Structure 1
Amino acid sequence: MSPIHPVVAEVTDRLLERSSPSRTAYLSRVRAASDQGPARGQLGCANIAHGFAAAEPDEKVALRGRTKPNLAIVTSFNDMLSAHQPYGDYPPVLKQATARAGGIAQVAGGVPAMCDGITQGRDGMQLSLYSRDVIAMSTAIALSHDMFDGALMLGVCDKIVPGMLIGALSFGHLPTVFVPAGPMASGLPNSEKARVRQLHAEGKVGRDELLEAEAASYHSRGTCTFYGTANSNQLLMEVLGLHLPGSSFVNPGTPLREALTRAAAARAVGITRQGGQPTPIGELVDEKAIVNACVALLASGGSTNHTMHLVAIARAAGVALTWQDLSDLSAVVPSLCRIYPNGSADVNHFHAAGGIGFLVRTLLQHGLMHEDVRTIMGPGLSHYTREPVLRDGELTWQDGTEVSLDLDVLRPADDPFSADGGLKVLTGPLGTGVIKVSAVKPEHRVVSAPALVFDDQDDFLVAFSEGRLDGRDLVAVIRYQGPAANGMPELHKLTPSLGVLQDRGQRVAIVTDGRMSGASGKVPAAIHVTPEAALGGPLAKVRDGDVITVDAERGVLTIDAPDLHGRAGTGRALDGAEWTGTGRELFAAFRATVGAADTGASVFGSHGVPLTEVPLVQV
Structure 2
Amino acid sequence: MNTLHPVVAEVTQRIVERSRHSRDAYLARIDEACSKGVYRHRLGCSNLAHAFAASSEADKSALRGKVTPNVGIVTAYNDMLSAHQPYEPYPQQIREAARLVGAVAQVAGGVPAMCDGITQGRAGMELSLFSREVIAMAAAVALSHDTYDAALMLGICDKIVPGLVTAALSFGHLPTIFVPAGPMPSGLSNDKKSKVRQSYAEGKATREDLLEAEAGAYHAPGTCTFYGTANSNQMLMEIMGLHLPGASFVSPNTPLRDALTRAAVYRAVAITALGNEFTPVGRMVDERTIVNGVIGLHATGGSTNQLMHLVAMARAGGIVLTLEDFDALSAVVPLLARVYPNGSADVNHFHHAGGMPFLIGTLLDAGLLHGDVRTVWGEGMAAYRCMPTLDGDGKLVWNEVTASANLDVLRPATEPFRPDGGLRVLKGNLGVSVIKVSSMPADRMVIEAPAVIFHEQEELQAAFSRGELDRDFVAVVRFQGPKAIGMPELHKLTPPLGILQERGHRVALVTDGRMSGASGKVPAAIHVTPEAIDAGPLGKLRDGDIIRLDAINGTLEAKVDAAEWAAREQVHADLSSHHVGMGRELFACLRNAVGSADTGATIFGKHDRHHAADV
TM-score, with length taken from structure 2: 0.98
The answer for the alignment partner of 1:571 in structure 2 is 572
The answer for the alignment partner of 2:237 in structure 1 is 237
* Alpha-carbon distance in 2 for matches of 1:554, 1:441: 16
- CA deviations on 1:421-448 (whole Å, 9 max, x unpaired) are 0211111110111111111111111111
The answer for the alignment partner of 1:506 in structure 2 is 505
SS at match of 1:277: coil
Q: 1:381-392 counterparts in 2 under 5 A?
A: 381-392=381-392
SS at match of 2:573: coil
* Alpha-carbon distance in 1 for matches of 2:413, 2:551: 22
The answer for the alignment partner of 1:149 in structure 2 is 149
Shift of 1:277: 1.1
- CA deviations on 1:153-179 (whole Å, 9 max, x unpaired) are 000000000000101110000000100
Q: 1:279-294 counterparts in 2 under 5 A?
A: 279-294=279-294
The answer for the alignment partner of 2:114 in structure 1 is 114
Q: Assess if the C-alpha contact under 8 Å between 1:250 and 1:257 holds in 2.
A: yes
The answer for the alignment partner of 2:322 in structure 1 is 322
Shift of 1:264: 0.6
* Alpha-carbon distance in 2 for matches of 1:266, 1:565: 62
TM-score, with length taken from structure 1: 0.98
Q: Which amino acid aligns with 1:475?
A: V
Q: Which amino acid aligns with 2:569?
A: A
1:2 has 2:2 as partner: yes
Shift of 1:554: 1.4
* Alpha-carbon distance in 2 for matches of 1:284, 1:578: 41
Q: Assess if the C-alpha contact under 8 Å between 2:358 and 2:402 holds in 1.
A: yes
Q: 1:588-599 counterparts in 2 under 5 A?
A: 588-599=588-599
Q: Assess if the C-alpha contact under 8 Å between 2:478 and 2:538 holds in 1.
A: yes
Distance 1:391 1:506, change over 3 A: same
Q: Assess if the C-alpha contact under 8 Å between 2:123 and 2:582 holds in 1.
A: yes
Q: 1:58-69 counterparts in 2 under 5 A?
A: 58-69=58-69
Deviates more, 1:519-528 or 1:128-137: 519-528
- CA deviations on 1:521-550 (whole Å, 9 max, x unpaired) are 310100001000011100011111111111
SS at match of 1:136: helix
* Alpha-carbon distance in 1 for matches of 2:422, 2:355: 17
* Alpha-carbon distance in 2 for matches of 1:514, 1:187: 30
Shift of 1:228: 0.3
* Alpha-carbon distance in 1 for matches of 2:265, 2:534: 46
SS at match of 1:307: helix
1:549 has 2:548 as partner: yes
Q: Assess if the C-alpha contact under 8 Å between 2:39 and 2:149 holds in 1.
A: yes
Distance 1:34 1:75, change over 3 A: same
> How large is the Cα RMSD of the aligned pairs?
1.3
The answer for the alignment partner of 2:214 in structure 1 is 214
Distance 1:610 1:526, change over 3 A: closer
SS at match of 1:367: coil
* Alpha-carbon distance in 1 for matches of 2:355, 2:496: 33
Shift of 1:322: 0.3
Shift of 1:465: 0.5
Shift of 1:401: 1.9
Q: 1:193-342 counterparts in 2 under 5 A?
A: 193-342=193-342
Q: Assess if the C-alpha contact under 8 Å between 1:86 and 1:222 holds in 2.
A: yes
SS at match of 1:243: coil
Shift of 1:149: 0.6
Q: Assess if the C-alpha contact under 8 Å between 1:68 and 1:103 holds in 2.
A: yes
SS at match of 1:169: helix
Distance 1:593 1:474, change over 3 A: same
SS at match of 1:324: helix
Q: Which amino acid aligns with 1:561?
A: V
SS at match of 2:89: helix
Distance 1:394 1:552, change over 3 A: same
Q: Assess if the C-alpha contact under 8 Å between 2:259 and 2:396 holds in 1.
A: no
Shift of 1:611: 4.7
* Alpha-carbon distance in 2 for matches of 1:186, 1:578: 37
Q: Assess if the C-alpha contact under 8 Å between 1:388 and 1:395 holds in 2.
A: no
* Alpha-carbon distance in 1 for matches of 2:239, 2:415: 21
* Alpha-carbon distance in 1 for matches of 2:133, 2:406: 38
The answer for the alignment partner of 1:183 in structure 2 is 183
The answer for the alignment partner of 2:482 in structure 1 is 483
The answer for the alignment partner of 1:405 in structure 2 is 405
Shift of 1:561: 1.0
Q: 1:78-89 counterparts in 2 under 5 A?
A: 78-89=78-89
The answer for the alignment partner of 2:105 in structure 1 is 105
- CA deviations on 1:340-388 (whole Å, 9 max, x unpaired) are 0000000000000010001000111011110010001111011111111
Unaligned runs of 5+ residues in structure 1 are none
Shift of 1:331: 0.6
Shift of 1:612: 1.2
Shift of 1:577: 4.2
Shift of 1:454: 0.2
Unaligned runs of 5+ residues in structure 2 are none
Q: Which amino acid aligns with 2:442?
A: P
Q: Assess if the C-alpha contact under 8 Å between 1:311 and 1:320 holds in 2.
A: yes
Q: 1:341-360 counterparts in 2 under 5 A?
A: 341-360=341-360
* Alpha-carbon distance in 1 for matches of 2:90, 2:166: 22
Shift of 1:614: 5.8
* Alpha-carbon distance in 1 for matches of 2:520, 2:208: 24
The answer for the alignment partner of 1:561 in structure 2 is 560
SS at match of 2:88: helix
* Alpha-carbon distance in 2 for matches of 1:477, 1:324: 24
- CA deviations on 1:127-147 (whole Å, 9 max, x unpaired) are 000000000000100000011
Q: Assess if the C-alpha contact under 8 Å between 2:21 and 2:613 holds in 1.
A: no
Shift of 1:396: 3.2
* Alpha-carbon distance in 2 for matches of 1:325, 1:216: 39
The answer for the alignment partner of 1:72 in structure 2 is 72
* Alpha-carbon distance in 1 for matches of 2:45, 2:441: 65
The count of aligned residue pairs is: 613
The answer for the alignment partner of 1:450 in structure 2 is 450
- CA deviations on 1:278-301 (whole Å, 9 max, x unpaired) are 100001110000000000000100
Percent same amino acid at aligned positions? 61
Q: Assess if the C-alpha contact under 8 Å between 2:485 and 2:578 holds in 1.
A: no
